[in-house]
Structure 1
Amino acid sequence: MRVLITGAGGQLGRALQATAPGTVEISAIDVDDVDLTDAAMLTARLAVEAPEIIINAAAYTAVDRAEEEEDLALAINSDAVAIMVEAMEQSGGKLVHVSTDFVFDGTSSQAYQPDDARAPISAYGRTKAAGEDHLRDQDILVRTAWVYAAGGANFVRTMIRLMKERDELGVVADQIGAPTWATGLATTIWGLIEKGAAGTFHHSDAGEISWYDFAVAIAEEAQQIGLIERIPTIKPITTSDYPTPATRPAFSVLDSSTTRTVLGDTHTPWRENLRAMLKEEKALG
């Protein structure tokens, strides 16, 4: 099976390559290989690669900057997806597209189901929702949230850096969600492909926490394995204390039960995956 991975240099792209089944023939492209805003270039590259499956792990993810660059975000998060879908339509292939909790408005009091109504409240969320709209019934849509991986640009590594530099941190405590270890997400994606799945699925680690809760756990686990020497004071703050150009969903927990049923696997707790990631981070030096 020939699989093309876009966003190959990102956290998920690297995890997909590391966890790929041995039976898969992988091609991987990143921003240096193809400009996703160049329709002709992307179309030509897809024709050359001729994949049976595309896993689209590429995205414009600068949430705050998207408020001023919505056209650019739309070109990458939606227009490029339409081109991938068209290529798969012509070849009889399938697109696996990765989306986000930001397509929801965060007003729910319970975890979002795959078929819940979308109501994005940011430019980033709008462009990702637009990308979802191009998918066909036979494609796979996987929504996720709070993705992190060893060596990547993410909340976990930012916290570790700040904990080494500062005696006190303020972290938002009124935004609730669930982290996602990129390795677990990649494994789920390969599993859905192997099962011949189609439709919309959710994946994040088990549990629901605030960014503040996550920061406290990062500090505890990082100190235990020697990534940081001491735990600084971590204070809970509100979203209004830390204003950003883009509005974040206040509650964006994704219900992954359908995904777990299809794959027949367990829902790994977020802290267990955090521990595994931090061990990898330490090994990187």
Structure 2
Amino acid sequence: MTGAKQNSTAPHRRKDGRAVPSPRTADTAQQRKREDDRPGIWVGYGKLLAKFRKAAGYSQEELAPLLGYSPEQLASVEQGRRPAKAPLTEAAERELNADGVLAILQEDVDFAKLPPFFRDFVLLEMEAVSRFDYDPLLIPGLLQTEAYARALFEGHVPMLDEDAIDDSLDARLNRQKILTKSPLVDFSFVIGEAALRQELGGADTMREQYRHLLAMGNLRNVAIQVVPIGSGFHTGLNGGFVLVETAEHQRYGYFESQDIGHVVSDSKQVSTFALRYGKLRSQALNVEESAAFIEQLAGER
């Protein structure tokens, strides 16, 4: 024994001689992983925002209230740890005279909020001239109210933190702009009765959701049909799916389960999807009958 004091930061050793990371090293590794997981567009946007802020002579404490954020939230955006929302970008453009530089990035910032498995399909969806959707278990995302969607994200397993819920909700609501974009896209939604009766978020949330479905069904480019329980065999019994056709008249299918999504491009498979969807629409209640059915559900709440 030399009597020398052992260095408290020296790594412990396993029996095989390999070092065991100290708690400080582990914390640093976790921080590095979180930073590595940041989407590049969020990091780039944050750096530009910080550059414009400094050029305008603002500190984070001075600028944050003008953008409707706390200094801590603004710091997170500048560091790329959280994405900017459209209202922040609009306020920053105005306060910092950013000349549209931040605004032009907002769509890409929003896109990076989407789950990675879903992004390929959304790129097709953005180019669609028609989009046909069958969902047996949930209200389709494009037709969900904020409260209904929040209830879904709050129940996600594994559990999402508040920032992730907020980002997911913002991304879903932003996607809904496609319903009214110009030129109009032709939308068809066939929804299983079970999806309508599955209560999420409580009676008030469901009542609001029914009214929203009725309002969306009044759009001239949106058709909503219901497949009642007890209809017997129909072509949607093996799961939900979506069909899109692009401006180049290319057709694609999409289906997902357990947070795994698949884009289908094989023409034979897509043709099968189209045949099944056509049969499904003929087996569902028509648009008028479906609206009356949803009105009846709304009256039960």
Assess same fold via TM > 0.5. Answer: no
Question: How high is the TM-score relative to the length of structure 2?
Answer: 0.25
Look at both structures and tell me which one has the larger radius of gyration over its CA atoms: 2
TM-score (norm 1): 0.26
Structure (1/2) with the larger helix percentage? 2
